[in-house]
Amino acid sequence: ILNVEQSPQSLHVQEGDSTNFTCSFPSSNFYALHWYRWETAKSPEALFVMTLNGDEKKKGRISATLNTKEGYSYLYIKGSQPEDSATYLCAFTSGYSTLTFGKGTMLLVSP
Amino acid sequence: DAGVTQSPTHLIKTRGQQVTLRCSPKSGHDTVSWYQQALGQGPQFIFQYYEEEERQRGNFPDRFSGHQFPNYSSELNVNALLLGDSALYLCASSFDRQGAFFGQGTRLTVV
């Protein structure tokens, strides 16, 4: 049984703070690690797909790193804004594009 | 491009009834996966359809069944509904093991 763990479960920060979340996943049979942002009443939105050990991806103020050997990924948000408030999900895939999700980290950014 | 569309957005059913949920994939996508998100959990993989056949299945009972049509759209059927089937059901489409795009989900409430 594949187990994807995310921490923290929730986070409340002030506007302008930087923050980071952790995703741990099985290091065997790895194909890709996905990060999604999910705002209330919307579809989960893909942020990054990471496949190579040591991968670093960036999209605006959000970046992510990947360590496949030890089975973890970090997501960083620099200078959080209220519009960053969402649940951030990571998902592991070992093939066929089926995703095994963590429970997510719920981020609330206060003005 | 309308992206992934799901219908209905909400529905309420009684225990023991049957329900059908529908999904139209993003244009150009040929693979459809279904996920169940129960309260406080990450999305759980139900099954994946490709070339009108079930290619992979998660740990869900046979009461959960599906279908994919020649135009790649898909249905999820759940028979003999239980209270525990109350959840958000997400459809995701993809092409050739690339990142999955999600619909907004169908909120099913079983009473």
Asked if residue A40 has pLDDT above 80, the reply is yes
By DSSP bridging, strand B74-78 and strand B19-24 are: antiparallel
DSSP for residue B9: S
- Averaged pLDDT for residues A28-45: 92
- Averaged pLDDT for residues B74-102: 94
Asked if residue A6 has pLDDT above 70, the reply is yes
Asked if residue B76 has pLDDT above 80, the reply is yes
What pLDDT shows up at residue A96? 64
Asked if residue B98 has pLDDT above 90, the reply is no
**With an 8 Å Cβ cutoff, is A89 touching chain B?**
yes
Give A 47-86 residues with CB within 8 A of chain B.
49
- Nearest CA to CA, how far is B101 from chain A (Å)? 7
What pLDDT shows up at residue B1? 65
Asked if residue A1 has pLDDT above 70, the reply is no
**Percent of chain A at pLDDT exceeding 70:** 95
Closest CA to A22 of A88, A94, A108: A88
**For A62-80, how does the pLDDT look when each residue is reduced to its tens digit (9 = 90+)?**
999 999 999 999 999 999 9
CA–CA distances in Å: residue A42 to residues A34, A107, B2, B51, B79: 18, 15, 14, 28, 27
Asked if residue B2 has pLDDT above 70, the reply is yes
Asked if residue A2 has pLDDT above 90, the reply is no
- Averaged pLDDT for residues B63-71: 97
- Averaged pLDDT for residues B50-77: 96
Residue of A99, A101, A105 to mutate when probing chain B, most B C-beta within 10 A: A99
Amino acid at B15: R
- For residue A37, list chain B residues with Cβ-Cβ distance below 8 A: none
**With an 8 Å Cβ cutoff, is B25 touching chain A?**
no
- Averaged pLDDT for residues B17-32: 96
Residue of A2, A4, A97, A105 to mutate when probing chain B, most B C-beta within 10 A: A97
Band of pLDDT at residue A58, cut at 50, 70 and 90: very high
- For residue A99, list chain B residues with Cβ-Cβ distance below 8 A: 33, 35, 43, 45, 92, 100
Asked if residue A27 has pLDDT above 90, the reply is no
